[in-house]
């Protein structure tokens, strides 16, 4: 049998706790945006691209070669990452180079990776 408890045995509401958490809860719109951000991390190809961009600024051709995918497929995923403000780009002549937008991306990614590695080491 499972030790997971799925509900309360009583119907007593801890008003103080609920009130405190309710007051600290971010606005609905911010929570929606946060959920959308985490959805972007829900694709293995995008995770690979983010990981690659941790290491080096890269162009679409380089990323496509690294991941053994078409440039079109990589461009599509980069568009999603740009819309989520996870990557930025710069042009040098005809070449467009992509990099992570800011250090928060590293922190989010590393926290998730540490959590996963922790579960493997249990």
CATH number of the domain residue 107 falls in: 1.10.10.10
Assess if residue 24 is contained within a domain: no
Assess if residue 72 is contained within a domain: yes
Confidence of residue 13 (pLDDT cuts 50, 70, 90): confident
Assess if residue 5 is contained within a domain: no
Assess if residue 122 is contained within a domain: yes
Distance CA 8, CA 11 (A): 7
Can you tell me the mean pLDDT for 27-46? 94
Assess if residue 20 is contained within a domain: no
Q: What percent of the chain has pLDDT over 90?
A: 79
Q: Which of 114, 66, 71 minimizes the C-alpha distance to 96?
A: 71
pLDDT of residue 51: 95
For residues 30-64, b (16+ Cβ closer than 10 Å) or e, as one string?
A: eeeeeeeeeebbeeeebbbbbebbeeeebbbebbb
Residue 8 pLDDT > 90: no
Residue 67 pLDDT > 90: yes
Residue 56 pLDDT > 70: yes
Assess if residue 112 is contained within a domain: yes
Assess if residue 73 is contained within a domain: yes
Confidence of residue 119 (pLDDT cuts 50, 70, 90): confident
Contact criterion met (CB below 8 Å) for 77 and 45: yes
Confidence of residue 10 (pLDDT cuts 50, 70, 90): confident
Partners of residue 97 on adjacent β-strands: 59, 90
59 phi and psi, to 5 degrees? -95, 170
Partners of residue 58 on adjacent β-strands: 98
Number of structural domains (the chain) is 1
Which range of residues forms the domain containing residue 105? 58-122
Assess if residue 88 is contained within a domain: yes
Helix, strand, coil proportions of the chain in percent (round to 5)?
60, 10, 30
pLDDT of residue 5: 63
Can you tell me the mean pLDDT for 96-121? 91
């Amino acid at each position: 049998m499972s030790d997971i408890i799925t509900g309360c045995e009583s119907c007593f509401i801890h008003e103080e706790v609920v009130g405190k958490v309710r007051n600290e809860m971010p606005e609905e719109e911010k929570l929606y945006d946060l959920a959308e951000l985490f959805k972007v991390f829900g694709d293995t190809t995008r995770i690979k691209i983010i990981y690659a961009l941790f290491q080096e600024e890269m162009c679409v051709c380089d990323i496509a070669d690294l991941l053994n995918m078409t440039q079109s497929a990589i461009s599509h995923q980069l568009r999603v990452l740009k819309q989520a403000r996870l990557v930025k780009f710069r042009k040098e002549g005809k070449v467009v180079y992509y990099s992570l937008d800011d250090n928060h991306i590293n922190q989010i990614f590393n926290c998730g990776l540490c959590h996963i590695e922790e579960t493997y080491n249990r």
